[in-house]
Every structure is written in structure tokens, then in C-alpha cells.
Amino acid sequence: MTDEAEAEAQGSLDHGPMHPLQVFVVALCIALNALDGFDVLSISFAAPGIAADWGVDRAVLGVVLSMELLGMSLGSVLIGNVADRFGRRPTILGCLAVMATGMFAAASAGSVAVLSATRLLTGIGIGGMLSSTSAMVAEFSSTRRRGLTMSLNIAGYSAGVILGGTIASTLLGGSGSWRLVFLLGGTATVVLLPVATLLLPESPASLLERRPPGALERVNALLRRLGRAPLAALPPQPIAAPRPSIASLFAPAYRRATLSLTVAYFAQIMLFYFLQKWLPKIVVDMGHAQAEAGRVLVMANVGTMSGAIAIGLVAQRWPVRPAVIGAMLVGFVLIGMFGMGSDDLTQLGVTAAVAGFFVNAGVVGLYPILAETFPAALRASGTGFVIGIGRGGSALGPVIAGAMFSAGAGLFAVSLAMGAAALLAAAMLVLLRPAGDRSRSAAA
């Protein structure tokens, strides 16, 4: 579907102020992404306790820390395509059920192998959720607010870590049982499942691209709720409309963008998850208590959430790509400063927070770029592919860091090695072709 047909089919959702229902859908997706954030990093809060209880060394712990990231990679690629074929809403609900199952199973795990399997399962649900909610937010947002809403959606990830991490740190400071962290995440997931089932509508853009039976009636019912005029008929689909498949992402019009964005996301997310996954263990190894390590991670995520909000505000007024490139370069410098370490816990937390601000601004800024790169028919598939393959970086980062630590490398050397990924990500964005050029290629 062309951009003009898509705008008409959505009842001009791209234009004018956002209806309260649009705002609600975006807010619900942000809440779901907050749940993702805590579920992903629950293992980070639990890691010091797991290492102490089971005698796990750093190399093995690095593998355990990466398992749900590997699952996220699989989920983003495979389930993103499912969302384009069968709809955003059923995919999101299915992912919630998978996440709840994985979190409760992790709480009862009795070995490293079982825990790793449960984290892999949880990650598959989280990966599918992230690609589906990203597409949903893009399609329910106006053009003016899309950059902000996409960034706020990803900022929800850090908000979940802050809120859930604060509660988890309190639980760890009390009983000290790492299993309570997973029980907390599983309970929160179960609470949100009926809320999403009752209140989350399907995306009108998804309905019009897939055209299931009754598509026109379902779209018009939603348009009336949004205060828009109903459609008299479904708009015609262009003969050359892209099919929702991985192969379509490598058509001439999208190949370069797909490859550039995948490498950029892979590299930047590797740096992000080095900071997120290893920070509590680094703090504990400096001689601090497990609960204090959790609080430092919360401080770091105050920085990451602030960076996400800041890049969203920038995206409303200025071109986002130069700002993202700048954030990646500054993040490289700051992660090196973090690697110098500090005996002062507050200073270490502040340094991690400021580094997290710029590192996450680089990650989050990629999402509005993804939304403008791929058309509605490929939006979840494209976002899912880039995130999914890119999540290989998130899985690889903790493993590389763990291997370097086990080999005797210091924090500064490991930080510089991880930070170099930001330079690669920035280079890929410099090579990215403007969206207008891709649109002309697709139409040719």
C-alpha cells in the first residue's frame, strides 16, 4: 500500500491531534514494554545470588545472562513476521502468555541448564512483544508525534527496570532470595495479560494490509471510536505491494537499509547490554552488597530512560539520524570513563547513568528510523528482523565480556572493547540512504 493510501485507510490518523484512544494504546504498549524491560534484566538482579548459591564462575554466568537475549533474537525475527501475517493484537497476547510461563519456570529452576532454558523461552516472548508493540505504536501515532511515541515506548523498557528493580532490590535486601525476582516479573505479566486482552485493539493499518474477513467492518468500527469518518470501501492495493516476508527486506529498495540498520543495532545493543547485564556483578565484585548493586543498576536505568525521552523530543523537531550518531560517539567516550572504575558507589552510579543516557539514546533513536524506513506491510517484519539479528549483539556482549574477565582483562580494557561497537554503529548510520530515496526505488 502506498503512503497516501495508508493515510486514507487509517482515517488520517497520521494528521491532527491524537485521539484519547490512540494515546491509550500507546500508553498500554509502553506498559507492556516496561514489563519487557524488567523481565529481561531480572536475571541481572538475580545474578549475584545465583553465582553465590550455585558456585557459577564468570564465564558460565555470561552464558546464562545471554540466554534470554538469544531468545529475544529468535522471537523478534520469527514472531515479527507472524505479527505482519496474523495481526499485532493476537501476537502480543501470545507473547505475554509465553513470558509469564518462562518467568514462573525460572523461579523454580534447580540447575543452570534449566534456568537457561526458561530464560530462552522468556526471551522468545519478549522479542516478539518488542517488534509487535513497536509496529503498533507507529501505526496508532500521528506523524508529528511518532518519533516521540516510538522513543517513549522504548523508554518504557527502562521505566520497568527502575520500578521493578527498586522492588526487587528491596526483596533482595530482605529475604535475599533471587527466586523472588522472577516471581515478581511473572506476577506482573499475569496481571497485564487480561488488561491487554480486554482493552488492546488491532491496528487499522495491519487490518488493511492483511484484509482478513470483515476487515472493512472492523476498521470502520475502530475509526468511529477514534472519531474519524468510516471508509466506504477498502482502498485498492498496489500491484507491487511488498509481501510480509524476510525476502522482501532484501529487495533492491530495502537491502542497503536492512543491512545498515541491522549492523548498527547489533553493535549498539551489544554495548547497551554489556552495561545492563554486568553492572550488578561488577559492583558486587568491588565488595558491595547485592542490594546496593541493584540500586546502582536502577541509577543506570534512570539515565537510559532519560536518554530515550531526550532523543524522542529531539525527533519531534529535528532530523533524528545526526542526533543518534552524536549520541553513539559520546557514549563511546563515557563507557571508557565508566571502565576507569571508582571506589565511591555514588560516583560509579552517576557515571553509569550518564553513560547509559547516551548509549540508550543511540539504541532508542534507531526505532523512529526503522518506522520511517519500512512501509506498513513490512514494518513488523523489518523491525523484527533488525531487532532480532541485532539481538545477537546483545547475546554476544555479555559472553565476550565474561570471557575477557575470566581471561584476566580489567574493567577498563573490557569497557573499551565493548565501547568500540558504538563507533561501528555510528558508521553504519552515516552510510544509510535517506528514506525518500528508498521510496523512489520501491516505486520504480
CB 273 within 8 A of CB 424: no
CB 186 within 8 A of CB 103: yes
Question: What pLDDT score does 413 carry?
Answer: 92
Question: What pLDDT score does 358 carry?
Answer: 96
CB 128 within 8 A of CB 172: no
DSSP label of 202: P
pLDDT-derived band at 74 (thresholds 50, 70, 90) equals confident
Q: Which residues, in sequence order, are CB contacts of 212 under 8 Å at separation 6+?
A: 87
pTM comes to 0.71
Distance of CA 260 to the CA centre of its chain: 18
Question: What pLDDT score does 167 carry?
Answer: 84
With a cut of 50, say whether residue 83 has pLDDT above it.
yes
Q: Which of 400, 373, 99, 144 is nearest to 259 (CA)?
A: 373
CB 267 within 8 A of CB 422: yes
Question: What pLDDT score does 444 carry?
Answer: 45
Give the integer Cα–Cα distance in Å for 431 and 428: 5
pLDDT-derived band at 31 (thresholds 50, 70, 90) equals very high
Mean pLDDT of the chain: 83
Question: What pLDDT score does 147 carry?
Answer: 75
pLDDT-derived band at 244 (thresholds 50, 70, 90) equals low
Q: Which of 427, 413, 407, 284 is nearest to 336 (CA)?
A: 413
Largest CA distance in the chain: 69
Distance of CA 127 to the CA centre of its chain: 8
- Residue ranges with strand state E in 278-406: none
Ranges 7-21, 22-36, 298-312, 361-375: which has the least confidence: 7-21
Give the integer Cα–Cα distance in Å for 26 and 429: 27
With a cut of 50, say whether residue 155 has pLDDT above it.
yes
First-residue to last-residue Cα distance in the chain: 14
CB 167 within 8 A of CB 185: no
Question: What pLDDT score does 436 carry?
Answer: 46
Block residue for cell numbers 575470566: 406
pLDDT digits (tens, 9 = 90+) for 266-312: 999 999 988 888 888 888 888 777 778 878 888 888 898 899 889 88
With a cut of 90, say whether residue 323 has pLDDT above it.
yes
With a cut of 80, say whether residue 223 has pLDDT above it.
yes
Question: What pLDDT score does 1 carry?
Answer: 43
CB 187 within 8 A of CB 169: no
Structural domains present in the chain: 12-201 (1.20.1250.20), 245-434 (1.20.1250.20)
Q: What is the DSSP string of 207-254?
A: HHHH--TTHHHHHHHHHHHTT-PPPSSPPPPPTTPPPSSTGGGGSTTT
Read off φ and ψ for residue 197, nearest 5 degrees. Answer: -60, -40
With a cut of 90, say whether residue 115 has pLDDT above it.
yes
DSSP label of 378: G
Give the integer Cα–Cα distance in Å for 212 and 89: 14
pLDDT digits (tens, 9 = 90+) for 325-360: 999 999 999 999 988 877 778 888 898 999 999 999
Ranges 129-133, 166-170, 198-202, 356-360: which has the least confidence: 166-170
Rg of the chain's alpha carbons, rounded to an integer?
21
Taking residues 406-416, report their average pLDDT. Answer: 89
pLDDT-derived band at 224 (thresholds 50, 70, 90) equals confident
Taking residues 229-250, report their average pLDDT. Answer: 70
Per-residue cell: 207: 487490518
Q: Which of 418, 422, 387 is nearest to 405 (CA)?
A: 418
Taking residues 148-172, report their average pLDDT. Answer: 81
Distances (CA, A) of 53 to 57, 85, 183, 398: 11, 44, 18, 20
Question: What pLDDT score does 372 carry?
Answer: 79
Report the SS3 class of residue 173. helix
With a cut of 90, say whether residue 98 has pLDDT above it.
yes
Taking residues 309-323, report their average pLDDT. Answer: 86
pLDDT-derived band at 160 (thresholds 50, 70, 90) equals confident
Ranges 53-62, 213-222, 299-308, 374-383: which has the least confidence: 374-383
DSSP label of 201: P
CB 111 within 8 A of CB 55: no
CB 178 within 8 A of CB 46: yes
CB 339 within 8 A of CB 282: no
Taking residues 190-209, report their average pLDDT. Answer: 90
pLDDT digits (tens, 9 = 90+) for 43-68: 888 888 888 889 888 778 878 878 88
pLDDT-derived band at 161 (thresholds 50, 70, 90) equals confident
Taking residues 63-81, report their average pLDDT. Answer: 81
Give the integer Cα–Cα distance in Å for 419 and 123: 24
Ranges 56-65, 144-153, 280-289, 430-439: which has the least confidence: 430-439
Question: What pLDDT score does 443 carry?
Answer: 44
What percentage of the chain has pLDDT greater than the value 90? 27
Q: What is the identity of the amino acid at 175?
A: S
Question: What pLDDT score does 385 carry?
Answer: 82
Give the integer Cα–Cα distance in Å for 206 and 222: 12
Q: Which of 182, 164, 210 is nearest to 379 (CA)?
A: 210
Q: What is the identity of the amino acid at 37?
A: G
Length of the chain: 444
Residue 348: is it exposed, middle or buried by C-beta count within 10 angstroms (0-12/13-18/19+)? buried
